[in-house]
Chain A
């Protein structure tokens, strides 16, 4: 099984292409790959419960592992308790783990 680490650094409200990146995550998952969507920088903003980003919710429901960089969350005053269901706060170490494990890692 192929493993993908997709790093999403942009807020979909400022960059419409971000939702295409979310769809890539879903398509890879549907195709049988192990996929993690790692939200970082302004990419963590739609992870807030209440941001109501339908495309990101679909990523969560597809079975893609969705995580948010805890440092980026702290920078933006987003608490762990404010994250939408299915999204966890994690360390950036997760990306280095994926690189070391050989996951195909893509930055957006």
Chain B
């Protein structure tokens, strides 16, 4: 793509709690498939999305093992979004709020995610063609 768009997103929802994080990933997947550049600022609970130590599990109530349960892990989706964007000529600049990560003990994240601060969202938005803030309330 000769002149790809750059879009910024802010997300504060953790995984496994709200449909907002699912819709957020759906938006990223579409944009990454188009080869857009993506600037992501994850803050508050949103820093959990890229937490490297997420683990799949079985479900004793349903009697399923890990393989059968095939539990979705957002950390994998983060990696796939980054890979999809790269494959299509785009790039993902994913910033986790460092304060938010420290508060929650999020000290290990997947490759391609870096630490930053709230001012980074302003920088990311200023460097983008458009922005979407997915607010929790």
Contacts and interface: CB of A to CB of B under 8 A. Distances in A.
Contact of B5 (A42, A92, A100, A108): A100
Interface string B1-27: 000010100000000000110010011
A95 interface: yes
A70 to B, nearest CB: 12
Nearest to B26: A92
Contacts of B23: 9, 40-41, 92
A96 B132 CA distance: 10
A90 interface: no
Interface stretch (B29-37, B66-74, B112-120): B29-37
Contact of A92 (B30, B34, B130, B134): B30
Interface in A24-71: 40-42, 71
B129 interface: yes
A99 B132 contact: yes
B129 A71 contact: no
A107 B5 contact: no
Q: How large is the interface on B (under 10, 10 to 19, 20 to 34, 35 or more residues)?
A: 10 to 19
B126 interface: no
Report which residue of A40, A42, A100 has the largest number of chain B beta carbons within 10 angstroms of its beta carbon.
A100
A2 interface: no
B5 A9 contact: no
B19 A102 contact: no
A100 B30 contact: no
Contacts of A42: 19
A9 B20 contact: yes
13 contacts: A40-B23, A41-B19, A41-B23, A92-B27, A93-B30, A95-B132, A99-B31, A100-B36, A102-B130, A105-B130, A105-B131, A107-B133, A107-B134
Interface of B: 5, 7, 19-20, 23, 26-27, 30-31, 34, 36, 129-135
